[in-house]
Amino acid sequence: MQHLRAVLEQLGGCRVLIVGDVMLDEYVRGEVSRISPEAPVPVLEVREVRSSDVRLGGAANAAANIQALGGKASLVGVVGTDDSADAMRKHLEEHGIARLLVPDPSRPTSKKTRLVAQQQQIVRVDYEKRTPVSGAVAEKIKREILGSLPDVHAVVLSDYAKGVVTPEIAQFAIAAARKANLPVIVDPKQRDFAVYRGATVLTPNLHELEVAAPSGGPFDLERSVAKLLPTLEGAALLVTRSADGMTLYRADRPSHHVPAVAKEVFDVTGAGDTVVAMIALALAARVSFEHALELASIAAAISVSKRGTSTVTPAELLAALDAG
Protein backbone atom coordinates (compact mmCIF):
# COMPACT_ATOMS: atom_id res chain seq x y z
CA MET A 1 0.00 0.00 0.00
CA GLN A 2 3.00 2.30 0.18
CA HIS A 3 2.51 3.34 -3.46
CA LEU A 4 -0.66 5.12 -2.33
CA ARG A 5 1.24 7.57 -0.13
CA ALA A 6 2.36 9.53 -3.20
CA VAL A 7 -1.18 9.40 -4.59
CA LEU A 8 -2.59 10.76 -1.33
CA GLU A 9 -0.24 13.73 -1.47
CA GLN A 10 -1.75 14.77 -4.82
CA LEU A 11 -5.20 15.31 -3.31
CA GLY A 12 -4.44 18.29 -1.06
CA GLY A 13 -6.04 21.50 -2.25
CA CYS A 14 -8.23 19.94 -4.94
CA ARG A 15 -11.52 21.81 -5.13
CA VAL A 16 -14.83 19.96 -5.40
CA LEU A 17 -18.37 21.26 -5.88
CA ILE A 18 -21.03 19.18 -4.12
CA VAL A 19 -24.65 19.58 -5.23
CA GLY A 20 -27.36 17.75 -3.36
CA ASP A 21 -29.52 17.11 -0.34
CA VAL A 22 -28.02 18.67 2.77
CA MET A 23 -29.19 17.51 6.17
CA LEU A 24 -28.30 17.40 9.83
CA ASP A 25 -27.72 14.17 11.73
CA GLU A 26 -28.70 14.52 15.40
CA TYR A 27 -27.91 11.91 18.03
CA VAL A 28 -29.82 11.86 21.32
CA ARG A 29 -28.14 9.36 23.64
CA GLY A 30 -29.37 7.87 26.88
CA GLU A 31 -30.24 4.66 28.69
CA VAL A 32 -33.26 2.39 28.65
CA SER A 33 -34.16 0.54 31.83
CA ARG A 34 -37.96 0.46 31.78
CA ILE A 35 -41.02 0.34 29.56
CA SER A 36 -43.43 3.25 29.41
CA PRO A 37 -46.69 2.77 31.37
CA GLU A 38 -48.46 4.73 28.61
CA ALA A 39 -47.59 2.38 25.74
CA PRO A 40 -45.39 -0.70 25.19
CA VAL A 41 -42.35 1.33 24.20
CA PRO A 42 -38.96 1.81 25.89
CA VAL A 43 -38.31 4.99 27.88
CA LEU A 44 -35.05 6.68 26.85
CA GLU A 45 -33.57 8.54 29.81
CA VAL A 46 -31.41 11.30 28.32
CA ARG A 47 -28.47 12.19 30.54
CA GLU A 48 -26.97 14.97 28.44
CA VAL A 49 -27.40 16.53 25.01
CA ARG A 50 -24.28 18.23 23.68
CA SER A 51 -23.82 20.38 20.58
CA SER A 52 -21.36 17.77 19.28
CA ASP A 53 -24.33 15.39 18.94
CA VAL A 54 -25.42 17.31 15.84
CA ARG A 55 -23.38 16.56 12.73
CA LEU A 56 -23.46 17.32 9.04
CA GLY A 57 -25.31 14.70 7.01
CA GLY A 58 -26.14 13.84 3.42
CA ALA A 59 -24.46 16.09 0.86
CA ALA A 60 -23.13 18.19 3.74
CA ASN A 61 -21.30 15.15 5.10
CA ALA A 62 -19.81 14.49 1.68
CA ALA A 63 -18.56 18.08 1.71
CA ALA A 64 -17.19 17.65 5.25
CA ASN A 65 -15.29 14.56 4.11
CA ILE A 66 -13.80 16.47 1.16
CA GLN A 67 -12.65 19.14 3.57
CA ALA A 68 -11.30 16.68 6.14
CA LEU A 69 -9.31 14.83 3.48
CA GLY A 70 -7.46 18.01 2.56
CA GLY A 71 -9.63 19.23 -0.29
CA LYS A 72 -11.70 22.39 -0.63
CA ALA A 73 -15.46 21.90 -0.72
CA SER A 74 -18.18 24.17 -2.06
CA LEU A 75 -21.73 23.09 -1.30
CA VAL A 76 -24.95 23.85 -3.16
CA GLY A 77 -28.13 22.72 -1.42
CA VAL A 78 -31.51 23.79 -0.10
CA VAL A 79 -32.48 24.63 3.49
CA GLY A 80 -35.58 25.95 5.15
CA THR A 81 -35.93 29.17 7.10
CA ASP A 82 -35.71 27.55 10.52
CA ASP A 83 -33.35 26.95 13.43
CA SER A 84 -31.93 23.88 11.70
CA ALA A 85 -30.86 26.07 8.77
CA ASP A 86 -28.96 28.30 11.20
CA ALA A 87 -27.34 25.21 12.72
CA MET A 88 -26.42 23.97 9.23
CA ARG A 89 -24.70 27.25 8.36
CA LYS A 90 -22.83 27.23 11.68
CA HIS A 91 -21.51 23.69 11.21
CA LEU A 92 -20.51 24.34 7.60
CA GLU A 93 -18.63 27.44 8.69
CA GLU A 94 -16.83 25.47 11.40
CA HIS A 95 -15.70 22.96 8.75
CA GLY A 96 -14.54 25.72 6.40
CA ILE A 97 -17.02 24.71 3.69
CA ALA A 98 -18.11 27.37 1.21
CA ARG A 99 -21.87 27.67 1.62
CA LEU A 100 -24.14 28.27 -1.37
CA LEU A 101 -27.40 27.37 0.35
CA VAL A 102 -30.71 28.28 -1.26
CA PRO A 103 -33.50 29.03 1.26
CA ASP A 104 -36.95 27.59 0.61
CA PRO A 105 -39.61 28.75 3.12
CA SER A 106 -41.96 25.96 1.97
CA ARG A 107 -39.81 23.14 3.36
CA PRO A 108 -37.95 22.35 6.57
CA THR A 109 -34.21 21.85 6.68
CA SER A 110 -33.78 18.08 6.48
CA LYS A 111 -32.81 16.57 9.85
CA LYS A 112 -32.57 13.00 11.08
CA THR A 113 -32.78 12.56 14.84
CA ARG A 114 -31.54 9.20 16.09
CA LEU A 115 -32.41 8.04 19.61
CA VAL A 116 -29.62 5.81 20.88
CA ALA A 117 -29.63 3.63 24.00
CA GLN A 118 -26.54 1.72 25.16
CA GLN A 119 -24.97 2.31 21.70
CA GLN A 120 -28.05 0.82 19.99
CA GLN A 121 -30.29 2.99 17.81
CA ILE A 122 -33.90 2.44 18.85
CA VAL A 123 -35.75 4.86 16.58
CA ARG A 124 -35.11 7.60 14.00
CA VAL A 125 -37.25 10.69 13.50
CA ASP A 126 -37.01 12.44 10.11
CA TYR A 127 -37.91 16.08 9.53
CA GLU A 128 -38.09 16.62 5.77
CA LYS A 129 -40.07 17.39 2.65
CA ARG A 130 -39.13 15.30 -0.37
CA THR A 131 -40.99 17.06 -3.15
CA PRO A 132 -38.75 18.11 -6.09
CA VAL A 133 -37.54 21.69 -6.06
CA SER A 134 -38.90 23.87 -8.85
CA GLY A 135 -39.42 27.45 -9.95
CA ALA A 136 -37.19 30.14 -8.46
CA VAL A 137 -35.44 27.68 -6.11
CA ALA A 138 -34.41 25.38 -8.98
CA GLU A 139 -33.22 28.31 -11.07
CA LYS A 140 -31.15 29.63 -8.16
CA ILE A 141 -29.51 26.21 -7.79
CA LYS A 142 -28.57 26.24 -11.49
CA ARG A 143 -27.06 29.71 -11.18
CA GLU A 144 -24.99 28.64 -8.17
CA ILE A 145 -23.72 25.60 -10.11
CA LEU A 146 -22.68 27.66 -13.11
CA GLY A 147 -21.02 30.27 -10.94
CA SER A 148 -18.99 27.63 -9.09
CA LEU A 149 -17.69 25.52 -11.98
CA PRO A 150 -14.79 27.79 -13.03
CA ASP A 151 -13.20 27.38 -9.58
CA VAL A 152 -13.41 23.59 -9.07
CA HIS A 153 -11.73 20.41 -10.30
CA ALA A 154 -14.66 17.99 -9.92
CA VAL A 155 -18.40 17.87 -9.26
CA VAL A 156 -20.37 15.56 -6.94
CA LEU A 157 -24.12 14.99 -7.19
CA SER A 158 -25.12 13.76 -3.74
CA ASP A 159 -28.68 12.54 -4.27
CA TYR A 160 -30.56 11.46 -1.15
CA ALA A 161 -33.99 11.64 -2.85
CA LYS A 162 -35.01 14.72 -0.86
CA GLY A 163 -35.84 16.76 -3.95
CA VAL A 164 -32.72 18.76 -4.85
CA VAL A 165 -31.15 16.52 -7.50
CA THR A 166 -34.11 16.45 -9.88
CA PRO A 167 -33.65 14.94 -13.36
CA GLU A 168 -33.50 18.48 -14.77
CA ILE A 169 -30.85 19.68 -12.30
CA ALA A 170 -28.85 16.45 -12.67
CA GLN A 171 -28.67 16.80 -16.44
CA PHE A 172 -27.97 20.53 -16.20
CA ALA A 173 -25.04 19.97 -13.82
CA ILE A 174 -23.62 17.04 -15.79
CA ALA A 175 -23.79 18.90 -19.11
CA ALA A 176 -22.19 22.02 -17.65
CA ALA A 177 -19.43 20.00 -15.97
CA ARG A 178 -18.68 18.02 -19.13
CA LYS A 179 -18.43 21.26 -21.09
CA ALA A 180 -15.86 22.42 -18.52
CA ASN A 181 -14.03 19.05 -18.76
CA LEU A 182 -14.73 18.22 -15.11
CA PRO A 183 -15.36 14.71 -13.74
CA VAL A 184 -18.80 14.13 -12.24
CA ILE A 185 -19.31 11.63 -9.41
CA VAL A 186 -22.90 10.65 -8.59
CA ASP A 187 -24.24 9.08 -5.40
CA PRO A 188 -27.56 7.93 -6.91
CA LYS A 189 -31.02 7.50 -5.44
CA GLN A 190 -33.24 7.85 -8.51
CA ARG A 191 -34.81 4.65 -9.76
CA ASP A 192 -33.92 5.58 -13.33
CA PHE A 193 -30.13 5.81 -13.57
CA ALA A 194 -30.47 7.29 -17.08
CA VAL A 195 -31.15 10.55 -15.23
CA TYR A 196 -27.38 10.60 -14.54
CA ARG A 197 -26.28 9.70 -18.07
CA GLY A 198 -23.05 11.35 -19.12
CA ALA A 199 -21.56 11.46 -15.63
CA THR A 200 -18.11 10.01 -15.01
CA VAL A 201 -19.09 7.43 -12.41
CA LEU A 202 -22.12 6.39 -10.34
CA THR A 203 -21.59 4.80 -6.92
CA PRO A 204 -24.69 2.70 -6.12
CA ASN A 205 -24.84 0.10 -3.38
CA LEU A 206 -26.35 -3.30 -4.14
CA HIS A 207 -29.87 -2.29 -3.09
CA GLU A 208 -29.82 0.86 -5.24
CA LEU A 209 -28.55 -1.17 -8.18
CA GLU A 210 -31.30 -3.74 -7.76
CA VAL A 211 -33.98 -1.03 -7.65
CA ALA A 212 -32.57 0.58 -10.79
CA ALA A 213 -32.38 -2.71 -12.72
CA PRO A 214 -34.99 -5.14 -11.38
CA SER A 215 -34.74 -8.60 -12.90
CA GLY A 216 -38.04 -10.09 -11.77
CA GLY A 217 -36.16 -12.90 -10.07
CA PRO A 218 -33.14 -13.37 -7.80
CA PHE A 219 -30.79 -10.40 -7.97
CA ASP A 220 -27.88 -10.91 -10.34
CA LEU A 221 -25.16 -8.26 -10.08
CA GLU A 222 -23.56 -8.87 -13.45
CA ARG A 223 -26.89 -8.95 -15.28
CA SER A 224 -28.01 -5.69 -13.66
CA VAL A 225 -24.75 -3.97 -14.58
CA ALA A 226 -24.98 -5.22 -18.17
CA LYS A 227 -28.51 -3.85 -18.37
CA LEU A 228 -27.60 -0.41 -17.01
CA LEU A 229 -24.25 0.45 -18.61
CA PRO A 230 -25.62 1.01 -22.15
CA THR A 231 -28.08 3.61 -20.78
CA LEU A 232 -25.43 5.77 -19.09
CA GLU A 233 -23.62 7.29 -22.08
CA GLY A 234 -20.16 6.24 -20.94
CA ALA A 235 -20.60 6.58 -17.18
CA ALA A 236 -18.93 3.89 -15.07
CA LEU A 237 -20.62 2.01 -12.23
CA LEU A 238 -18.76 1.66 -8.95
CA VAL A 239 -20.86 -0.81 -6.99
CA THR A 240 -20.24 -0.72 -3.23
CA ARG A 241 -20.83 -4.18 -1.75
CA SER A 242 -20.37 -3.78 2.03
CA ALA A 243 -18.22 -6.63 3.36
CA ASP A 244 -17.49 -7.78 -0.21
CA GLY A 245 -15.70 -4.54 -1.11
CA MET A 246 -16.42 -2.57 -4.27
CA THR A 247 -16.33 -3.33 -7.99
CA LEU A 248 -15.84 -0.91 -10.87
CA TYR A 249 -17.61 -1.61 -14.16
CA ARG A 250 -16.86 0.26 -17.37
CA ALA A 251 -18.12 -0.37 -20.89
CA ASP A 252 -15.74 -2.49 -23.00
CA ARG A 253 -13.31 -3.02 -20.10
CA PRO A 254 -12.85 -5.80 -17.57
CA SER A 255 -14.34 -5.16 -14.14
CA HIS A 256 -11.96 -4.10 -11.38
CA HIS A 257 -12.59 -5.33 -7.84
CA VAL A 258 -11.15 -4.04 -4.56
CA PRO A 259 -11.83 -6.11 -1.43
CA ALA A 260 -13.04 -4.55 1.80
CA VAL A 261 -10.38 -3.94 4.42
CA ALA A 262 -12.57 -3.18 7.44
CA LYS A 263 -11.73 -5.25 10.51
CA GLU A 264 -14.34 -3.82 12.89
CA VAL A 265 -17.66 -2.32 11.85
CA PHE A 266 -19.41 -0.12 14.41
CA ASP A 267 -21.61 2.08 12.21
CA VAL A 268 -22.02 2.33 8.42
CA THR A 269 -23.80 5.71 8.62
CA GLY A 270 -22.16 8.11 6.18
CA ALA A 271 -19.61 5.60 4.87
CA GLY A 272 -20.96 6.09 1.35
CA ASP A 273 -20.23 9.81 1.63
CA THR A 274 -16.63 8.99 2.56
CA VAL A 275 -16.26 6.78 -0.53
CA VAL A 276 -17.74 9.46 -2.78
CA ALA A 277 -15.48 12.14 -1.29
CA MET A 278 -12.34 10.06 -1.81
CA ILE A 279 -13.27 9.14 -5.39
CA ALA A 280 -14.10 12.77 -6.17
CA LEU A 281 -10.79 14.08 -4.81
CA ALA A 282 -8.82 11.39 -6.64
CA LEU A 283 -10.51 12.08 -9.97
CA ALA A 284 -10.12 15.81 -9.38
CA ALA A 285 -6.38 15.19 -9.08
CA ARG A 286 -6.49 13.03 -12.26
CA VAL A 287 -5.55 9.92 -10.30
CA SER A 288 -6.38 6.57 -11.95
CA PHE A 289 -9.64 4.83 -11.08
CA GLU A 290 -7.69 1.87 -9.74
CA HIS A 291 -5.75 3.93 -7.21
CA ALA A 292 -8.87 5.91 -6.34
CA LEU A 293 -10.68 2.67 -5.46
CA GLU A 294 -7.86 1.46 -3.23
CA LEU A 295 -7.90 4.70 -1.26
CA ALA A 296 -11.70 4.70 -1.08
CA SER A 297 -11.72 1.18 0.35
CA ILE A 298 -9.26 2.16 3.09
CA ALA A 299 -11.19 5.36 3.85
CA ALA A 300 -14.46 3.39 4.11
CA ALA A 301 -12.85 0.97 6.56
CA ILE A 302 -11.82 3.87 8.78
CA SER A 303 -15.28 5.45 8.54
CA VAL A 304 -17.22 2.33 9.59
CA SER A 305 -14.90 1.86 12.57
CA LYS A 306 -16.35 5.06 14.08
CA ARG A 307 -19.74 5.61 15.65
CA GLY A 308 -22.19 7.89 13.87
CA THR A 309 -21.69 10.16 10.90
CA SER A 310 -17.97 10.90 10.67
CA THR A 311 -15.10 12.07 8.48
CA VAL A 312 -11.68 10.64 7.66
CA THR A 313 -8.38 12.56 7.71
CA PRO A 314 -5.13 12.16 5.72
CA ALA A 315 -3.35 11.30 8.98
CA GLU A 316 -5.72 8.37 9.53
CA LEU A 317 -5.20 7.21 5.96
CA LEU A 318 -1.42 7.41 6.31
CA ALA A 319 -1.58 5.41 9.53
CA ALA A 320 -3.68 2.77 7.78
CA LEU A 321 -1.21 2.67 4.88
CA ASP A 322 1.69 2.22 7.28
CA ALA A 323 -0.16 -0.54 9.11
CA GLY A 324 -0.91 -2.27 5.81
Divide the 324 residues of the chain into consecutive groups of 10 and give the mean pLDDT of each group: 76 93 93 94 83 84 93 97 96 94 97 90 94 97 97 97 97 98 97 96 94 85 93 95 90 90 61 90 93 89 76 84 76
- Residue 113 corresponds to which amino acid? T
Half-sphere exposure of 285 (CA within 13 A, CB side): 24
Other C-beta atoms lying within 10 Å of the C-beta of residue 213: 21
| Pairing of β 22-35 and β 111-117 | parallel
Measured distance CA(165)–CA(141) in Å, rounded? 10
SS3 233: coil
Q: Which fold has domain 3-24+53-111+128-323?
A: UDP-N-acetylmuramoyl-L-alanine:D-glutamate ligase (3.40.1190)
Yes or no: say if 196 and 166 are a contact pair by the CB < 8 Å rule: no
Measured distance CA(64)–CA(73) in Å, rounded? 8
C-alpha to C-alpha distances, 138 to 41, 96, 105, 142, 186, nearest whole angstrom = 42, 25, 14, 6, 19
Measured distance CA(262)–CA(297) in Å, rounded? 8
Measured distance CA(310)–CA(118) in Å, rounded? 19
Which pLDDT score, from 0 to 100, does residue 267 have? 54
- Catalytic one among 159, 244, 273, 322? 273
85 torsion bin: left (phi>0), alpha (psi -120 to 50), beta (else) = alpha
Measured distance CA(96)–CA(92) in Å, rounded? 6
Other C-beta atoms lying within 10 Å of the C-beta of residue 252: 5
Measured distance CA(107)–CA(101) in Å, rounded? 13
Other C-beta atoms lying within 10 Å of the C-beta of residue 114: 19
273 in catalytic set: yes
Contact partners, residue 253, CB within 8 Å, separation at least 6: none
- Residue 69 corresponds to which amino acid? L
Strand partners, 72: 15
Where do the domains of the chain lie? 3-24+53-111+128-323
